[in-house]
Chains A and B, each alone.
Chain A
Amino acid sequence: MIRHLLSAGDLSLDDATLVLDTAEEMARLTEGRSVKKLPTLRGRTVVNLFFEDSTRTRTSFELAAKRLSADVVNFSAKGSSLSKGESLKDTALTLEAMGADGVVVRHSASGAPYRLATSGWINACVLNAGDGTHEHPTQALLDAFTMRRHLGELSGKRIVIVGDVLHSRVARSNVALLATLGAKVTLVAPPTLLPTGVERWPCDVSYDLDAALSGADAVMMLRVQRERMNAAFFPSAREYSRRYGLDSRRQALMPAEALVLHPGPMNRGMEITAEVADSDRSVIVEQVTNGVYVRMAVLYLMLAGTTEEAA
């Protein structure tokens, strides 16, 4: 298993499968039990280092670490060296001095977890909990876990990812992981919201959502900020919804058993209608539950093997 989890692309097929299988085990050990706690990481310290607000991701990591009996410290460092706050380096040195074993980091700057892991400031394992518009590997893992539970092995499965790919760390991590798992990914977005060079990513690209939906095993809707229209990425929220939003008409174009995913938080009425989000094919709430299992698996696999340092 890799030492740091910075990018979903760092995971080999064996690594990714191990995480998903371990998450399945975590689910089996805690689902439906009154005592949801395992002693696995007793005595280890996990720091949730959040430079950006994200209650859902932080809570998910916190719950995962606590279910493994780790000591959890939430370190909310709003504002990086950009504002008046402490620099990333000084924060890292502080955590190192406190003896953190694992650092879960969320940062608005792409590459900040990479800097933490490679700059020599800390020895702890670094888990990327979302960095800028770069990656969000545990989100991709929980998405894969959720889809695998419904669809079986993902090799050959057709996954459609729709929306603001340009600014989406979720999309980048999903493309990388799903390619490793052998799924066939199609990205759908207006040309303005696709990154330069996307044609060389291991996926297909389309501007036509209706066409992409037929034959999909799952469709993943990405959050789109209304404010993007101010930078001319699209003319209006209404036009975006008409061309790239998932409504009941479009859902009817999908095979009957196809799943609907969304990493949250949703803009109901923008990229997805309430009817679709709340439909029986939506697994959006399940994704949240599964996030805890996947994060338990990742924390366990990365931290459990390093006991000699803590002794």
Chain B
Amino acid sequence: MTPNATILIRAARVLGGEPRDLLIDDGVIVALGAGARAADAARTATVVDADGLIALPGLVDLHTHLREPGREDAETVETGTLAAARGGFTAVHAMANTDPVADTAGVVEQVWRLGREAGHADVRPVGAVTVGLRGERLAELGAMADSAAGVRVFSDDGVCVSDAMLMRRALEYVKAFDGVIAQHAQEPRLTEGAQMNEGELSGRLGLQGWPNVAEEAIVARDVLLAEHVGSQVHICHLSTRGSVEIVRLAKQRGLPVTAEVTPHHLLLTDELVATYDPRYKVNPPLRSAADVAALREALADGTIDIVATDHAPHPVEAKDCEWDVAAFGMLGLETALSVVQHTMVDTGLLDWSGVAERMSYAPARIGRCDTGELAHGRPLAEGEPANIVLVDPSVSATVDPSASASLSRNTPYEGMKLPGAVVATFLRGRPTHVTGGLL
């Protein structure tokens, strides 16, 4: 297929509704429904039979680790965005904890350019809040905002901006260019040496606990700081019931806070750690079943705004070892939609338009990439960019790590049967992922 070709997607259930046709031309949705077929008569479109498939707006991930520059043995922009396309994502926000750290205009422009060259998904670099993620002084946030990468999301993800004064200043400073600080909420002193969720199991396994309160203390502080300075704060990978309650209360008070949850925190619990298998080692850690239930409920009622993957590739040797020395993190891009279908849609907590809101519209709004020429998270409507995912919700498959597009294999879902398959992904009308025979 050549780029900018005319494509007629036939009989797709847009947001899970009644089957409709979509006509794409030159990267834009030019007609919908009955009009699409009429308009098609005048053109020579490639026809995609989407009978039985659900059409969603291209997914947007606000939290991806692409590892380049520095850890190209774990992932590159090329392989990471390929995995993104396979998972139905048309845009990913690349976290700043690379080597060198994405704390200058030079590094964010490099990542942004690599994304353009790869072409599988738009890469929106996240800038570091502090120089070298060291939590000592602000990085040049304005320079990154003004760069070609147009950075709007800033995060020291992996480490918390724990210094209250620095966090306050960062929240204030980014107001000048409509930026947002994404906080990895982890009180450092309460989590020194932490290895897993603090609970009865950590006590029994002899692994140092990562208590809920270490997250909640920072979430509480930061919503208050955001209120105080009148700026927006975004909470990364929220993982506890207590954090949900704080964010819910903050939103009831009208405070400018948004929050994300990862697919793995919606599905997996700390019981898996009893295997001492480092595939289940992640930060924040897998929590209790009660936390998982609270997270699902919060995502359903909108207290948690979005799903973000925290896709964190690691080479085999970083996980093929004893728990203490293993790396934190797990893959997420290719399985995210299936996990959301499994935990939220198939359970009746969310419908497909709810999925579009949590995985496309809202993350694009928070990431400030919902407007302009390269807009994401737009409705599937005439005149909108043709960022489209076709999903088959009726199939299920067993997760096979070796089939991943990622360079890494550290999926926690190996051997699990998950529902749903991303059949095709279109980035401005161009297919970035298609399964056999559709085109």
Q: Across the interface, which residues of B come within 8 angstroms of A89, CB to CB? A: 320-321
Nearest B residue to A135, CB-CB: B206
B296-337 contact mask (Cβ, 8 Å, vs A): 1 or 0: 000000000000000000000100111111000000000000
Q: What distance in Å separates the Cβ of A242 from its nearest Cβ neighbour in chain B?
A: 26
Q: Give the total of B residues in contact with A, Cβ under 8 Å.
A: 23
Residue of A nearest to B278 (CB): A115
Q: How far is the CB of A35 from chain B (nearest CB, A)?
A: 40
Tell me, yes or no, whether A157 is within 8 Å of chain B by CB.
Answer: no
Q: Are A87 and B209 in contact, CB atoms less than 8 angstroms apart?
A: no
Q: Return A133 CB to nearest CB of chain B, in Å.
A: 4
Q: With A87-B317, A196-B198 in contact, do A111 and B203 touch (Cβ < 8 Å)?
A: no
Check if B199 sits within 8 Å of A169, measured CB to CB. no
Can you list 24 A-B pairs, Cβ within 8 angstroms, ordered by A? A80-B321, A81-B317, A81-B322, A82-B325, A87-B321, A88-B322, A108-B324, A109-B325, A110-B205, A111-B205, A112-B276, A115-B322, A131-B206, A132-B324, A133-B206, A133-B208, A134-B205, A166-B203, A172-B206, A196-B199, A197-B201, A197-B202, A197-B204, A201-B204
Give Cα A88 to B317, complex, Å.
Answer: 11
Measured CB to CB, the nearest residue on chain A to B276 is A111
Chain A 133-144 against B: per-residue CB contact (8 Å), 1 yes, 0 no? Answer: 111000000000
Interface status of A114 (Cβ within 8 A of chain B):
yes
For the complex of A and B, list the 9 residue pairs with the smallest distance between their C-beta atoms, beginning with the closest: A197-B200, A195-B203, A134-B206, A111-B276, A133-B206, A110-B206, A109-B324, A109-B322, A112-B322
The reply to whether B323 and A109 contact each other, CB–CB distance below 8 Å, is: yes
A269, B254: Cα distance in complex, Å: 59
Let me know if B207 is at the binding interface, CB within 8 A: yes
Give which listed residue, B199, B207, B211, contacts A111 with CB less than 8 A: B207
- Does B275 lie at the interface of the complex (its beta carbon under 8 Å from any beta carbon of A)? yes
Can you name 20 extra interface pairs (CB under 8 A) apart from A81-B321, A108-B324, A195-B203? A82-B324, A88-B322, A110-B207, A110-B276, A111-B206, A111-B322, A112-B276, A112-B323, A115-B276, A115-B321, A133-B208, A166-B203, A169-B206, A172-B204, A195-B204, A196-B199, A196-B203, A196-B209, A197-B200, A197-B204
Chain B residues with CB under 8 Å of chain A are 198-209, 211, 275-277, 317, 320-325
A67 close to B (CB within 8 Å): no
Residues of A within 8 A of B321 (CB): 80-81, 87-89, 115
Q: What's the Cα separation between A114 and B321 when bound, in Å?
A: 11
CA gap between A200 and B277 in the complex, in Å = 24
* List of A residues within 8 angstroms of B211 by Cβ: 196
- Note all chain B residues with C-beta closer than 8 A to A166: 203
Please report A residues at the B interface, Cβ cutoff 8 Å: 80-82, 87-89, 107-112, 114-115, 118-119, 131-135, 166, 169, 172, 195-198, 200-201
Least CB separation from A9: chain B residue: B204
Chain A, residue nearest B275 (CB):
A118
The answer to whether A110 touches B317 (Cβ under 8 A) is no
Contact of B200 among A114, A118, A169, A196 (CB under 8 A): A196
Which residue of the partner chain, among A110, A195, A196, A201, contacts B324 with CB atoms under 8 Å? Answer: A110
Expressed in whole angstroms, the Cα–Cα distance for A198 and B209 within the complex equals 13
Best-buried of B206, B208, B275 by chain A (most CB within 10 Å): B206
Q: Do B276 and A114 have beta carbons less than 8 Å apart?
A: yes
A78 to chain B, nearest CB (A): 14
For residue A132, which residue of chain B has the nearest CB?
Answer: B206
B276 — which chain A residues lie within 8 A by C-beta? 110-112, 114-115, 118
For residue B208, which residues in chain A have a CB less than 8 angstroms away from its CB? 133
User: In the complex, A111 Cα to B275 Cα: how many Å?
Assistant: 8
Q: What is the bound-complex CA distance between A253 and B250, given in angstroms?
A: 55
- Complex contacts, B203 vs chain A, CB 8 Å: 166, 195-198, 201
Interchain nearest-CB distance for B215 vs A (Å):
16
Measured between beta carbons, the chain A residues less than 8 angstroms from B322 are 80-81, 88, 107, 109, 111-112, 115
A167 and B64 CA atoms in complex are apart in Å by 36
Query: Residue among B206, B207, B322, B323 with the most chain A CB within 10 A?
Result: B322
Docked pose: A95 CA to B14 CA in angstroms: 58
A169 and chain B: residue at smallest CB distance? B206
Complex Cα–Cα for A226 and B268 (A): 39
For A119, what are the chain B residues with a Cβ–Cβ distance below 8 Å? Answer: 320
* CB-defined contacts of A115 to chain B, threshold 8 Å: 276-277, 321-323
Contacts of A197 in B (CB 8 A): 199-204
Chain A residues closer than 8 Å to B277, beta-carbon distance: 115
Chain B CB count within 10 A is highest, among A88, A107, A132, A200, for A132
